Structure 1
Amino acid sequence: MGPIVLDLSLRRSACLALAALLVAAGPAASQVEDPAALAEAARDARQAQLEDVARAIALTDERLAELRSEIDALDQDRGTLNQTLIDTGKRVQALETRIGETETRINALVRSEDAIRASLLAQRDVLGEVLAALQRIGRRPPPAILVRPEDALASVHSAILLGAVVPDLRKAADKLASDLNQLVSLKNELARERDRMQEDASKLAEDRARVEFLIAERQGKRDASAAQLAEQERRAGALAEQATSLKDLIARMEKEVAAAARAKAEAEAAAAKRKEAAEIARTTTPPKSLGESDRLSPSVSFADARGLLPLPASGRITRRYAEDDGLGSRSEGISIATRPNAQVNSPSDGWIVYAGPFRSYGKLLIINAGDGYHVLLAGMDQINVELGQFVLAGEPVAMMASPKLASAGAVDIVSTQPVLYIEFRKDGNSIDPAPWWAATDDEKVGG
């Protein structure tokens, strides 16, 4: 009975393996196209579906109305609005990071799935041999010695053959069945990861809507009239066309545009006030935070904010300060590859002295952080702040582009992924921003 039971076990394993092969091969098994091309097309289709998960999430009118009511119900003082905006901005960045991590895991699972499918397709001939051998054994089973003693020699020969062949058949059938089990497990894990990504994408859509409502609420409280702002933006655009460098642009803006000049004066006054307070207190204790959310000027000087500033976007640092920029020079800032349409937060307190396009930098944002320091952000697609406006560290100020709009130029190498460029300047010269980043944020983004 031993050989017959073994035969049935092998048949069962081989049938499972055949099912695995059929599942893995799908329509491609009946086609004669290049397997590599088919695999690449399948990966492209899956990647497109993955990108559509987050893009296709749309909030209903009812949910948008609920979010609008939620914002309207807030205390309308500056501190509450600012803190809510900063908290929401942090959640948006955290969700963008989680979605990016989920995409990485999904891509790894997809690569494993492709490898298993390729393995199963490569074993089609082996599976055919296993099934053919089992069919032959089934048609001509070994003779029973007790029924026909005269066939004892044939029985011995069959036993010898089975002893040699069956281990190889079992090994092949078990390998195929193992691949099937692994493929099913991968598909289940992929489904769980996609569900997790869709849930995070829904939360992200809601928080982005909150940010938009909060920005609109804040902008509605601005004192400058629309006509005055439009005239200053027009003047800023003209100066940007005339400027020969970033240093020249900043100097022209703070001299010839009223909002930027006022921002410079406020930054100088705030710095003088801090120095006077520090002289009275005579303390050298390093600050533990940047201050309360209702502040109208930096509570901490930029020089003392080392180790406190949040990175403006979640993503992967692709180039650090002083590294080769690929154009024969050294980078004067850092570059972060972000998700499409990623949110950009202000890395520091300060006043907006420029917000608009500038040469090959794309959309450029310049923040006067006081004490001769300026922070530059470039590569965005949409800017949500105005000239002369005071912004807080962590406050949403812009949005990145979709992949098809990602710019390169002086900012970074050509890429299908949006790239945010960040530069710190002191008295017109670029400096290494690394000492200023909060340790947790720097570790989160990685290098």
Structure 2
Amino acid sequence: MRAPALNLLMIASVAGASVAQACVSFAQAQTAPAPQTAAISPDAIKQREQELEAARASQKSAAEAQAKLKAEIASLGQDRTQLNQQLIDTAANVRTVETKIDEAEARLKTLNGREQQARASLDSRRADIVEVLAALQRAGRRTPPALLVRPEDALQSLRTAMLLGAVVPELRSRAEKIAGELGELVALRKTIAAERDQLASDRDKSRSDQTRLTALVDERQRQQASREKDLDAENTRAIALSKQVGDLQGLIAKMEQDLQSAAKAAEKAAEAARQAEAKEAKAAAANAAAGAKPGPAVFKDRSRTSPAILFASAKGLLPLPVNGNKIRDFGGSDGVGGVQKGISLATKPGSQVTTPCDGWVVYAGPFRSYGQLLILNAGGGYHVLIAGMERISVNIGQFVLTGEPVATMGSTSQVASILATNASQPVLYVEFRKDGTPIDPGPWWAANEGEKVRG
């Protein structure tokens, strides 16, 4: 019976050592006093000098990067195709990183919740941990029976071994459970640290991409201003005209009739629709025979100056203009006793807004209860209205491509009908119209966009 007794004692000793170390570390982490503020040492001064030097180096690096970016954009010159490509690609990168940041924040929230639960579980069983730790330490220190003993000693050893054999399995089970919880807590903290590092990296990339996008947008608008004379005067007149009408259809009609740049844009949209319709009619037979349908590839040509295809033919191809969660759908309640004529997407502050389709800008500015409003003429009698942004970065009469950056969200809702119920979050409102009548935009969104909105 000496061998079983020795084995049991060794098991208890090993288990006690491993769990004891984990338990002591946990207890120390929970009860460690806050460090006292000490006088600034020479080492601390040296460290601060190093930090200051690092900050200066970072500032210098940022200035060099900015100069490089300006030179790169200047090299694009008047090459509209390259500028459009850079704009759309960079805007897509911004939205992709926005999505990654949202997903990382969601994962961190879940992980932090699990960590709190694990710590709460261990805290609630502190007495059990102390009891197990003490028992394992006592068992680990118990001296094994001597090799040569008197009969009385042998009997006592046998009785001790029998008692230990009954106690150790339960003790070991409790110890392993505690060790498992501590191991999970350590793993969770490592995962959280990795997620935070990745989140910091994504945020750095987002800032870099936003800087690049801002520079590209500024260059696009500079080139637009050089082509269009009296741009500021047109924008001022557009806002004045918008105050003379009371609804969206009246605004569209007023712009396209009374404003020179908007009227010119409407004419181009109508002509482009006629040409696209004739072109599609010729290809319809061949496409029908081959079973071919338009795909995302139709938008690849960045040099185009008119819509790639008819708006009616773009069903199932258009991307949502912003990352967010759909909070109101077409035909539902608008929150003020009416019916929703478009969709509403709750977004993060500062989110990038891109165009869902090709089209000409017929209005860009504030309008009544919609906040900042952007209206695109997509041709064929179709108009796309986007409202709720804080800042619009395109001008009336400008042709924009699908996926091109056109606006930025603010920090709160700008649309009056949504402000009452979602004041703490910016909301983008999107509406499609055909010949002045609101229509359901659902069939136009690309696969899964209508079901799972990014962000």
Does TM-score exceed 0.5, indicating one fold? yes
Q: CA deviation at 1:369?
A: 1.0
Matched, 1:305 2:314: yes
Identity score, percent: 47
Contact 2:9 2:142 in 1 (8 A): no
Alignment partners' CA distance in 2, 1:198 and 1:399: 22
RMSD: 3.2
Give 1:262's aligned residue.
Answer: 264
Report how many residues are paired: 419
Matched, 1:69 2:74: no
1:2 to 1, 7, 31: 7
Alignment partners' CA distance in 2, 1:27 and 1:377: 55
Specify the structure having the higher radius of gyration (Cα): 2
**Cα displacement string for residues 383-432 of structure 1 (whole angstroms, at most 9, x for unaligned residues):** 11111211111111011223xx3446324741544322221111222211
Matched to 2:80, the amino acid is R
Q: CA deviation at 1:312?
A: 1.3
Q: CA deviation at 1:225?
A: 8.2
TM-score (norm 1): 0.83
Describe the shift of the 1:135–1:189 C-alpha distance in structure 2 as closer, same or farther (beyond 3 A): closer
1:80 to 63, 78, 82: 82
Describe the shift of the 1:159–1:233 C-alpha distance in structure 2 as closer, same or farther (beyond 3 A): same
**Cα displacement string for residues 423-446 of structure 1 (whole angstroms, at most 9, x for unaligned residues):** 111122221112112226557636
Contact 1:236 1:257 in 2 (8 A): yes
Give 2:390's aligned residue.
Answer: 381
Give 2:417's aligned residue.
Answer: 410
Contact 1:16 1:180 in 2 (8 A): no
Uncovered stretches (5+) of structure 2, i.e. residues with no partner: 1-5, 35-57, 288-292
Matches within 5 A, 1:142-181: 146-152=148-154, 154-181=156-183
Q: Which moved more, 1:74-83 or 1:18-27?
A: 18-27
Aligned to 1:295, the other structure's residue is in SS state coil
Matched to 1:312, the amino acid is P
Matches within 5 A, 1:21-420: 21-22=26-27, 25=30, 60-74=62-76, 76-134=78-136, 137=139, 146-152=148-154, 154-223=156-225, 228-278=230-280, 283=285, 285=287, 286-288=293-295, 289-290=298-299, 292-402=301-411, 405-407=412-414, 409-411=416-418, 413-414=421-422, 416-420=424-428
Alignment partners' CA distance in 1, 2:75 and 2:133: 71
Contact 1:13 1:174 in 2 (8 A): no
**Cα displacement string for residues 264-311 of structure 1 (whole angstroms, at most 9, x for unaligned residues):** 222222223333444566657343414622222213111111122222
**Cα displacement string for residues 70-93 of structure 1 (whole angstroms, at most 9, x for unaligned residues):** 112225222221122112222222
Describe the shift of the 1:372–1:86 C-alpha distance in structure 2 as closer, same or farther (beyond 3 A): same
Matched to 1:10, the amino acid is A
Describe the shift of the 1:389–1:59 C-alpha distance in structure 2 as closer, same or farther (beyond 3 A): farther
Contact 1:97 1:315 in 2 (8 A): no
Contact 1:145 1:155 in 2 (8 A): no
2:441 to 405, 417, 433: 433
Describe the shift of the 1:310–1:92 C-alpha distance in structure 2 as closer, same or farther (beyond 3 A): same
Q: CA deviation at 1:69?
A: 1.3
Contact 2:13 2:137 in 1 (8 A): no
Matched to 1:166, the amino acid is V
Q: CA deviation at 1:136?
A: 5.1
Matched to 2:301, the amino acid is E
Contact 1:379 1:411 in 2 (8 A): no
Describe the shift of the 1:176–1:278 C-alpha distance in structure 2 as closer, same or farther (beyond 3 A): closer
Q: Which moved more, 1:378-387 or 1:432-441?
A: 432-441
Alignment partners' CA distance in 1, 2:60 and 2:89: 22
Matched to 2:353, the amino acid is V
Q: CA deviation at 1:236?
A: 2.8
Give 1:32's aligned residue.
Answer: none
Alignment partners' CA distance in 2, 1:153 and 1:162: 14
**Cα displacement string for residues 341-376 of structure 1 (whole angstroms, at most 9, x for unaligned residues):** 121111111111222223333222111111221111
TM-score (norm 2): 0.81
Contact 2:387 2:430 in 1 (8 A): yes
Contact 1:93 1:314 in 2 (8 A): yes
Q: CA deviation at 1:188?
A: 1.9
1:421 to 426, 429, 445: 429
Describe the shift of the 1:266–1:26 C-alpha distance in structure 2 as closer, same or farther (beyond 3 A): farther
Alignment partners' CA distance in 1, 2:71 and 2:145: 85
Uncovered stretches (5+) of structure 1, i.e. residues with no partner: 30-55
Q: CA deviation at 1:167?
A: 2.3
Aligned to 1:386, the other structure's residue is in SS state coil
Alignment partners' CA distance in 1, 2:109 and 2:28: 20
Contact 1:14 1:177 in 2 (8 A): yes
Contact 2:12 2:172 in 1 (8 A): no
Give 2:37's aligned residue.
Answer: none
Alignment partners' CA distance in 1, 2:334 and 2:286: 38
Matched, 1:12 2:17: yes
